[in-house]
Structure formats: C-alpha cells, structure tokens
C-alpha cells in the first residue's frame, strides 16, 4: 500500500470528500508523502522540514489529506485530463516515485502524467517515459542565484540548470515546465532574464505568485499581470523588452497578439488549472483557472490591465 497526499479538489471530484468546489480541477494532483516533511528546507514551502509539524497537510493554499492509493483506485473515474505527481525529498524518494507512478498506471492506463521533481539522474527521467510521463516540472522557483541561496533551495543553482538541460534532451523542447515563484525579492528584469534563458534552453514556464505561511499573497497584482504578459510574449516568440517598461511597470507599445487574454490563465502543464492553489476565491485571481471564471472576473481584470497600459 502506498500513502500519498491528494489535493482536496482532486478528492472532491472523486467523491471521497464532501466539498463544494467553485472550480473543478482538470488535473488530478498527488503529492509524495513523508511523515517528517520534505528534507529540503525551502523557506516558502509548507512541505519543507521547517514547517513539517505545523502545516504538513498543506501545500500552497490547498489542504492535501493523506490517503492510500488503493482508495484512490476504487474511487477513480474518468474526470481528469492529466495526472500530476509531485515528489518530496526523502530517502529513496526517486525509486518510490517510480513505484507510485507504476501503481497509478494500474488503474489509469491512458491519460498523461506530469512528474514534478528535483534534480535526479538521467536514467530516472528515461525510465518513467514508459509509464506515460510526458512532462517534467522543475521547481527552480527563484530568479537569481542570490535568492536561490536566501530561500534555502536544496542542491545547487548550477545543478538545477544542468538538470533542466538534461530533461530537455530526454523529453524534447517544450515539455519541461520550470516553476517560478513571483515575489521572492527579484526585480522584474531579473524575472524576464531568467524566463528568457529557460525558453532559450527549450523549457517553458509555470508561474506562481508567492504566498506566505498564512496563505496570503503580498504580490502586487499589477506586477504579476506584467510578469504574466512577459511570459506570454516569450511563449509566442516575442521579446518583452520591446513592449514593457521594466522600470515604470507599464506596457509601452501595442502588443501584436489577438489572444492576449490567454496570458492570464493559469500557466503550466497542459490541462493544469490548479484552482485557488495560490489565491483566495475572493480575489485577486492571480491565475485564472477557466473561461467561466474569466467571464466572472472580466471587469476586474480589465481594470487591472488598464493600470499597466493594456486596453481590452
């Protein structure tokens, strides 16, 4: 029997808890379990060992109850388009992750799996392909070496970059999503520079706004909208330097994209909408999880974008 954590949204979709959810997750989210927390000591992560005794059932703003995979198997239904399995660092975590993914495949043989993992040997990246893992998530999180060290990331800055390159070699360009947390003390230009480097290497970006241990995000929504826009420009092969004034936090030219609203949806693996992972349903909606909620939030988003020089 394997014990894992599952997001409460995932469990609600499966009928395992009675919870009214405002937006349905399109991905089933599972998190590797460690009774003592992740052995890494990242200062922003509620699964790190520094928070292990106070917030061990939380990641982001979401509660992740402990459950065995056999219970998941019995309740499983065709309600998701993707599975996301996130690892923690502990003894033999990589080999256990392989076994858990194999177990998941015993009851869900078809939909793709994303694996969010810290640097591991190339052989592991190659071995999970046969189990339908088609996307790798890498939690670089910080925009600079200095912030990497200040927030106590595990391993080394250089090792993460070598791992990103290695993962792109194994999975191909566009299939490695590097996680970046906005609001850890970086400058706007530093964020753009690190995103540009990731795209140049063949990766893509999943953006998160920083939330503190109380579940509150201090990130200015104007700043976050500009970062989302910069990511979207890079995603579409455009240079943010030509369109955004990094010093004055404003768009300085007309952006030649008809689908600009897509910049403000949740960014990440295909099918990932992670509703309210890092924002309160009361707003602001940093990462908009669906077209339905975009419609509800549209007027507020229009105000936010006008403040950075974008008219819808």
pLDDT in tens, 198-230: 999 999 999 999 999 889 999 999 999 999 999
> In the prediction, which pLDDT does 53 show?
64
Q: Which two tokens stand for residue 288?
A: 């908009």
> In the prediction, which pLDDT does 54 show?
54
How many independent structural domains does the chain possess? Answer: 1
Q: Is the peptide bond before 284 cis (omega within 30 degrees of 0)?
A: yes
pLDDT in tens, 120-137: 999 999 999 999 999 999
> In the prediction, which pLDDT does 56 show?
75
Is 285 a member of any domain?
yes
171-191 mean pLDDT: 98
Is 312 a member of any domain?
no
Q: For 134-155, b where at least 16 C-beta lie within 10 A, e where not — what string? A: bbbbbbbbbbbeebbeebebbe
Q: Is the peptide bond before 216 cis (omega within 30 degrees of 0)?
A: no
Q: How confident is the model at residue 252 (pLDDT cuts 50, 70, 90)?
A: very high
Is 227 a member of any domain?
yes
Domain of residue 228 covers: 3-306
Is 177 a member of any domain?
yes
Is 182 a member of any domain?
yes
CATH no. for residue 212? Answer: 3.20.20.70
140-145 mean pLDDT: 98
> In the prediction, which pLDDT does 80 show?
98
Is 135 a member of any domain?
yes
Is 311 a member of any domain?
no
């Amino acid at each position: 029997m394997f014990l894992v954590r599952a997001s409460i949204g995932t469990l609600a979709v499966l009928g395992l808890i009675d919870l009214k959810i405002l937006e349905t997750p399109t991905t089933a989210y599972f998190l590797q379990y460690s009774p003592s927390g992740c052995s890494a000591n990242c200062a922003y992560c509620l699964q790190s060992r520094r928070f292990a005794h106070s917030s061990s059932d939380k990641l982001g703003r979401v509660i992740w109850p402990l459950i065995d995979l056999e219970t998941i198997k019995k309740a499983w239904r065709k309600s998701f388009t993707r599975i996301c399995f996130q690892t923690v660092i502990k003894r033999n975590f990589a080999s256990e992750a392989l076994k858990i993914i194999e177990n998941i495949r015993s009851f869900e043989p078809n939909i793709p799996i994303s694996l969010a993992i810290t640097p591991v040997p190339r052989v592991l990246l190659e071995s999970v392909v046969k189990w339908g893992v088609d996307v790798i998530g890498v939690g670089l999180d910080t925009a600079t070496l200095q912030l990497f060290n200040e927030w106590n990331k595990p391993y080394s800055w250089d090792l993460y970059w070598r791992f990103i390159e290695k993962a792109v070699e194994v999975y191909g360009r566009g299939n490695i999503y590097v996680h970046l947390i906005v609001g850890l003390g970086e400058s706007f230009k530093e964020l753009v520079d690190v995103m540009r480097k990731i795209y140049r290497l063949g990766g893509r970006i999943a953006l998160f706004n920083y939330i503190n241990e109380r579940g509150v995000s201090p990130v200015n929504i104007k700043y976050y909208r500009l970062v989302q826009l910069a990511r979207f420009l890079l995603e579409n092969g455009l240079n943010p330097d030509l369109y955004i004034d990094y010093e004055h936090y404003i768009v300085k030219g007309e952006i030649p994209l008809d689908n600009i609203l897509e910049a403000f949806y949740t960014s990440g693996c295909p099918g990932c909408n992670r509703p309210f992972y890092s924002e309160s349903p009361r707003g602001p909606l940093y990462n908009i999880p669906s077209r339905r909620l975009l419609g509800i939030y549209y007027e507020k988003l229009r105000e936010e974008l006008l403040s950075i020089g974008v008219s819808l």
